[in-house]
Amino acid sequence: MVQEFSENSALTHLDASGEARMVDVSAKQASVREAVAAAQVRMSVQTMEAIESGNAPKGDVLGTARIAGIMAAKQTWMLIPLCHPLPLQKVEVQITADTELPGYQIRARVKTKAETGVEMEALTAVSVAALTLYDMAKALEKSMQIEAIRLISKTGGKSGDYQRVD
C-alpha cells in the first residue's frame, strides 16, 4: 500500500507519492550558516603516546586526519544522499589530545553563505577525521573506539540557532 503525502507534509524529503527527493531550496534566501560538531577516539595510553611522539607506522596521524576531515566536509554532498552541494567558506578541524579519555577529541567548524545549513558537513568532517585517525593508528591498536559523534551547535537558517546542552 502506498501512503499519500502532500507537498505540505512535514516529511520534507518525500514527494507527494512518498518517494525520496532532494528538497528545493531555490526560493530560500542565502544566509551565513555555521555548524560545529564533535567526536572522540578512545585508545590505550601506549597508542596515544606513540601518536604524540610521532612513532606511528603510517606517519603523521593527526595531520592526515585533520586534512581528511576538511576534504570530507567538502565532499559531503557526494556521500550523503539528498544533501546539497554547498560553497564552503570555512572548514576547520581541530584534534586535541585528551589524557583523561585517553585519546583525542575532534571538533569541526564549517561555515557557508547558502540556502541550507552545514550540519551534515560538520558531522561528516569529524566522522572521517576519526576514521582516518583510526586507520593511521590501527597497526598500534585495533581496539580503538570512535565515540560520541554529535552536533554541538548551529546558527542561521529558518529553524534558528541550536546549542547542545549536555
Active site residues: 135
3-state secondary structure of 113: strand
Kindly write down the DSSP assignment for every residue of 19-54, as one continuous string: -B-----TTSPPEEEEEEEEEEEE--HHHHHHHHTT
User: CA 150 to CA 101: how far, in whole Å?
Assistant: 17
> DSSP label at 116?
S
Query: Binding residue per annotation — 82?
Result: yes
Query: Binding residue per annotation — 4?
Result: no
Query: Binding residue per annotation — 83?
Result: yes
What is the residue whose three cell numbers read 502506498?
Answer: 2
Query: Binding residue per annotation — 84?
Result: yes
User: CA 166 to CA 61: how far, in whole Å?
Assistant: 29
Query: Binding residue per annotation — 123?
Result: no
Binding site listing for substrate = 82-84, 120-121
